[in-house]
Amino acid sequence: MPILVRRWLAFNPVAIMTALIIADLLADPEIAPPGISIALVSAVAAGIVGLISRSRFLTLFVGVAGFMGFSLIL
């Protein structure tokens, strides 16, 4: 397989995951009583942790725990 094709295919998992996350955030957001999207707040928290830590596990943990925590709090 040509190197250009391999390089292009390397971006597919990231593009697919981004499309799934954005579609989920925009399709039918779960809105808490104060008018805050729980999924959006969790995604922002996970994104910040991911940028700082560069750890996939920690990012996933913060996203899931944040969603559960914000669901209980809000």
Where are the domains positioned within the chain? 3-73
Two tokens, residue 24: 């989920």
Q: How confident is the model over 30-37, as a mean pLDDT?
A: 76
Alpha carbon distance 9, 40 (integer Å): 29
Summarised one tens digit per residue, pLDDT across range 43-64 is 889 999 999 998 888 988 998 9
Two tokens, residue 6: 């391999």
